[in-house]
Structure 1
C-alpha cells in the first residue's frame, strides 16, 4: 500500500480525548477544513492532498474508530471543530444522524452524482464509495454453484464450514438489517440461526482474518466485504491464491453498503465542507477509492484500473436504500442475540 504523508499528519483519537479539544488540532481560520474521519485509507489521504493542491484550502484530519468518532463529536457539541464527518457503513451514518450531528445539505451536484439509494433522503449524508458484502470460498473445496445467495450460508451442507465476524460488527448488523427488509423478520432470523449453526469456529477477528481462515483450511466459506480480498490480492505479502468471490445475488441482489459523510451540524466552515464533498464526487476523486482502496466508486459511470476488481467481475446489486440499514439495526441486533451468533 502507498504511504501518503497524510497518514502521519492525521490525528488519532483515544477514548480519554473525548470531550476536550486536542492540543495539536489546527484552529479553523476560514481557510482550513477540518475532517473528522473513521476512515484510514490511502485513497482518502490522496484525496485530501489533491483537494489542498487544487483549492489552496488546508485540510486538517482527526481520525477515530467509527463509534468513538460519533461520541467525540457529540461530546464537543457546539465547540466541535468538525466541518465534515466521514465514517464507514450506512448504519453508523444513521446513528450519527439520529444524534443530530449532520446539517442538511442541498447540493444539486451531489444529488445528481450520488444515486438516491446511497444518500440520506433529506441530504444529511452522502455515500462516497461502496462496498459489497460477499461470500469468499476455497475453490478446491467448494463448488461455486453451491453459493447462489446469502441463504446458501445457512444450508446444512455447510455445517462446520462457515467463518464470520461477530454479531456486534456493524457490517453484519447492516447486512441482517437489509435481509429483515427483504425477507421479513421471521425468515431473516431463521437465516441467522442457520448460519450460526454452520460456524466452523466462534466468530473472531476482522474480515481479513476470515479470508486467511479460508486459505488456511479452518473453514471453507466466509462472509466479508469485497475490498478486503481485493487489497490482499494485490499485496505481495499476502497469499490468497485459491480464495475466490461468490456474488450472493440470488433473491434480491448483492448487499452493498457505503462509506460516506456530510456537513457537521456545528461546522465552522460549512461552505468549505460542501466544496470538499462535491470535490469528492469528481471522476478523478472517485477513481482513487477503486484504485487505492479496492472500493467501488459511488458514481457508477467512473472507470478505474484496479486489476483485482476486474478479476472479481460484475454483479447485480440490491437496490434497497442504505438508510434502511440504520432503521432496522435494532431488530437485527435482537435477532443475533436470540440465535446465539456471538
Structure 2
C-alpha cells in the first residue's frame, strides 16, 4: 500500500495526541518525490504487511518537525546531501538508532558514528567535459580546475548550493582553510559566466558552447539521457571523475534518519534495515541513477558505464562540521559574482 499524505491528514494526526498510534505503519517525510521511493515501499509492504505513508517536503522539513514537536506523526525522514541530514540532527529532531544489521550494511564513512542517520546511496561530484573541446586527461583533479588554461571555460551552479558547499568543505578538509580560499578564487577566475541554474543547466551550457567543463552530480546524466529534450545535452559531454591530489573522488549521500518522536519506532527500524539491504539499495540506486553502498552491491548498468572511481574515504560527518566555514569562505570570495 502506498499513500501520499495530504496536509489535512497531518493536522488531524497532530491534534489526536491522545489516540494511540496506528499499528503496522510507517510515516515518512521525504525530500525526494514519492514516486522515486515507491518501488521500495511497495516491496517492503508486500514483505512485511506494514503500510508506508509519505509526504513530500521539498522545503521546510526542519521547521515542520520543530513546529510539530513530540506530536509529529513522522517516523523517518528521507533527504539528500550530508548538510541537510546534519541540519536535522543538529536541530535535535532525530534519535540514535542501534542496529547490527544497519552497521553491517552501511560502511562507516556513510553513517553517523552516533547512529542518527544512515546513508542509502551515493552520488559523485564530478566534471562534465565537452566531448569536442576537452581531450582525455586534461582534467584529473579538483585542483586542476584552478589552472589558467580553463579561464572562461568553467560553468557551475551557485557556490552556496548544498552540493558545492559540501565539495568546498571536502577541499577544506584536504587543504585547510587558506587552501580552500585559494581554490575558490581560482575556480571563480576561470568561470565562463556567473554561477546560475542547476546542474543540468551547466551541461546545457556546454552543449550550447558557453563553456567547456562543468561541475555536477553524476545522477543528472541518467536523468538527462531519459529526457528526450535533454538527451542531446548529455550526448555532448562525458563524465570525468576528478580526485583530490592525495585522495579520491568527492561523494555525497542520500540518507534516512529516525525522528525524535517516531510513534512507530519498531516498524520504522524494520524499514530502515530493509532499505539498507543490498537488494533494496540496488533498486533504489537504479531508480535514481546513483550508487548503492552496501558491500557486494553493483550500480545499474547505465551508471556503471560511466566508469569506475575511488571515493574519498573521509567520513561525511567531518564535512558536515566544516559546512559553515565552507559557506563563509564562498561568500567572502564573492564566488557567485563570477569573474
CA distance in 2, matches of 1:131, 1:281: 16
Q: TM-score, normalized by length of structure 2?
A: 0.91
| Candidates 91, 102, 114, aligned match of 2:106 | 114
Tell me, yes or no, if structure 1 residue 159 matches structure 2 residue 151. yes
Offset from partner CA, 1:40-69 (integer Å, 9 cap, x none): 264412111111111111111011125x11
Report what 1:306 is aligned to: 301
Distance 1:236 1:48 in 2: 28
The reply on whether 1:341 has 2:335 as its aligned counterpart is yes
TM-score (norm 1): 0.91
Q: How does 1:50-69 map to 2 (within 5 A)?
A: 50-66=43-59, 68-69=60-61
Q: Which residue of 1 aligns with 2:80?
A: 88
The answer for the alignment partner of 2:271 in structure 1 is 276
Gaps of 5+ in 2: none
Query: Are 2:22 and 1:29 aligned?
Result: yes
Query: Relative to structure 1, is the Cα distance of residues 113 and 249 closer, same or farther in structure 2, using a 3 angstrom cutoff?
Result: same
- Give per-residue Cα distances to partners, 1:50-103, cap 9 Å, x unaligned: 11111111111011125x112111111111111001111111111110101111
Give the alignment partner of residue 136 of structure 2, picking from 144, 156, 165.
144
The offset of 1:23, in angstroms, is 5.4
Aligned to 2:318: 324
Whether the aligned pair in 1 keeps the contact of 2:13 and 2:73 (CA below 8 Å) is: no
Mapped to 2, the partners of 1:141 and 1:41 lie a distance apart of 39
Q: Where does residue 222 of structure 1 map in the other structure?
A: 214
- Native 8 Å contact 2:172 2:180 kept in 1: yes
Q: Deviations over 1:124-162 (max 9, x none)?
A: 110011110000010110123111111122211111111
Q: Are positions 1:293 and 2:288 aligned together?
A: yes
In 2: Cα distance, 1:23 partner to 1:79 partner: 11
For 2:243, the equivalent position in structure 1 comes to: 249
**SS of structure 2 residue aligned to 1:167:** coil
* Matching of residue 97 in structure 1 with residue 84 in structure 2: no
Question: What value does the CA root-mean-square deviation take over the aligned residues?
Answer: 2.1
**Is 1:207–1:225's contact at 8 Å kept on the other side of the alignment?**
yes
* 1:43–1:288 CA contact under 8 A, matched in 2: no
Gapped regions of structure 1 (runs ≥ 5): none
